[in-house]
Amino acid sequence: MNSRRDFLQKLTGSALAFSLLPRYANSSILHMHAYEGPVLRVALMGLGSYATRVAEAMQACQKAKITGLISGTPAKLKTWQGKYNVPDQNCYNYETFDAIRNNPDIDAVYVLTPNALHHDEVIRVAKTGKHVICEKPMGLNAKEGAEMVTACKAAGVKLLVGYRMHFEPNTLEIIRMRNEGAFGKIKFFQGLSGFRIGDPKQWRLNKQLAGGGSLMDIGIYSINGARYMTGEEPLWVTAQETKTDPVKFKDGVDETIQFQLGFPSGAVASCLSTYSMNYLDRFFLDGENGFAELQPATNYGPIKGRTHKGELNYPHIAHQTRQMEEMSDILLAGKQPIVPVDGGEALKDLKIIDAIYQATQTGKKVELSAL
C-alpha cells in the first residue's frame, strides 16, 4: 500500500500545552498521571502504510494497545510481531482470522485494508463477536454501508469509523463556537481537499479496489467536514467531474470533482476533491457574525486555524493517538463523542457520495431524501 500523503509528524505535547486545550477538546490522552483503567486490545488488519502510522501513534496511547495482527504477508507479520511484541497465537492471515472469536486478548479489530475489502471483512469480524473499527470510506456505497451497520447490530458489536478529525482540538473549538452562536447564522462552507497522486499502479487508482478515485479517498474529508462544520445534514447535491488524464484516471476513477450541497437552514457548501492539484487542504465557514478557517484542515497535522476572534493554536498530538484513546472510551466506557464516529455517521457520508456520483453522471440536482 502506498502512502496517502507524505505528511510525517512526530508526537508532541507537554503539560503546559495540555493546559491550553479547549473545553471540547478534552482528550483521554491528556493524563498528568499514570492511567490504571481498562485498555482496549486491538488487532490491526492490513499492515500497510496507514496501519504503520496508526501503530506508531498507538505507542503513545494509555487506553489502547496493539495485541493482534492480521496480514496476508507472512514476512510482514514477523516484522511487526517483533516491533510490537505480538505473540504468535495473536497473528492471523485472511483465511484464519475468524479464529479471533476464541482469543481473549483481542477486543476489537481495526480494518485498514483497501476500500473494496471493508464490507466483507467488517461483517466477518462482527460475526466473531469483536468490535470493529473501519477506515473510511466505510464501504463502496450506501448499500454496503447499511449492510455493515446491520451486521454489527445483529452481532451485538459496535462499529466505529476512523474519523480522526472528530477529535482534533482546533476543529472541536470551531464546533463549540458555532454551537454557542459565535458565528451567527451559518451561510456558507467551502471545503478544498486534494493532492497530486503518485504511482499510477497503486490500489487507489484501481476501481475494483478503491471504488472510485479522489472522492473516495481525499474528497470524503470535505463531505464529512461540510456536515460537522455547518452542523447540518444536506438536502441536495449537485456535482461536476473534470478529467484531464484519462490514461492515469481510467473509467470509474475520478480525477477531480466539484460538488455543492444545500442545507435546511439555507446554507450552501462548495467543495473540491482532486488527485491532480497540490496545496488544497482548507475549510472555510462563513456566518452572519463571523468566520472560521482551517488551513491545513485535515492532513496529519499540525492543523492551523483562525476565526474572526483570532488565531487557534492548540497543541498537536498525533491524530491517531487521540482517536484510539477516545475510541477506547467509546467502546469500553460508553463515552459519547462530540461528533459521532459510528457506522451510522459513515453511512450518511456514503449516501452523499452516491448522490455526488449520480449528479456527475446525470448533470442534475440529486435530492438526498430520494436515496
**pLDDT, tens only, 192-228:** 999 999 999 999 999 999 999 999 999 999 999 999 9
Is residue 324 included in any domain, yes or no? no
C-alpha 33/C-alpha 156 separation (Å) is 34
d(CA 9, CA 20): 20
Same domain, 223 and 137: no
For residue 208, count CB atoms less than 10 angstroms from its CB and return exposed for 0-12, middle for 13-18, buried for 19 or more. Answer: exposed
In a domain, 335, yes or no: no
State the Cα–Cα distance between residues 312 and 291, nearest whole angstrom.
13
Model confidence, pTM: 0.91
In a domain, 307, yes or no: yes
Res 34: pLDDT: 85
Work out the pLDDT band at 20, boundaries 50, 70, 90. Answer: very low
| Domain contains 325 | no
HSE-up of 118 (CA within 13 Å, CB side)?
Answer: 34
Residues 231 and 192 in one domain: yes
**Catalytic residue of the set 63, 110, 130, 136:** 136
Structure confidence at residue 169 as a pLDDT band (50, 70, 90): very high
Domain-embedded: residue 67: yes
pLDDT at position 5 = 34
DSSP strand pairing (91-92 vs 64-70): parallel
Separation CA 25–CA 171 (nearest Å): 9
CATH code at 131? 3.40.50.720
Contact indicator for 324, 314 with CB cutoff of 8 Å: no
Q: Which three cell numbers stand for residue 356?
A: 455526488
Q: Is the pLDDT of residue 97 over 50?
A: yes
Q: 207 and 270, same structural domain?
A: yes
* Rg value, the chain, Cα: 20
| Residues 82, 177 within the same domain | no
Q: Does 24 qualify as catalytic in the annotation? A: no
Tell me, yes or no, whether 304 lies in a domain. yes
Comparing CA positions, the residue from 244, 136, 253, 278 lying closest to residue 202 is: 253
186 and 158 belong to one structural domain? no
Domain that holds residue 177: 169-313+341-370
Asked whether residue 201 falls in the same domain as residue 283, the answer is yes
Q: What is the domain count for the chain?
A: 2
Is there a single domain that holds both residue 265 and residue 345?
yes
Distance CA 322, CA 331 (A): 14
Active-site option among 50, 110, 221, 357? 221
Q: Note if 130 is an active site residue.
A: no
CB atoms within 10 A of CB 6: 10
Residue 296: predicted pLDDT: 98
Distance separating alpha carbons of residues 15 and 127, to the nearest angstrom = 42
Per-residue CA distances from 162 to 221, 335, 356 (Å): 11, 16, 22
Q: Are residues 103 and 230 in the same domain?
A: no
> 264 burial class (0-12, 13-18, 19+ CB within 10 angstroms)?
exposed
58 and 43 assigned to the same domain? yes
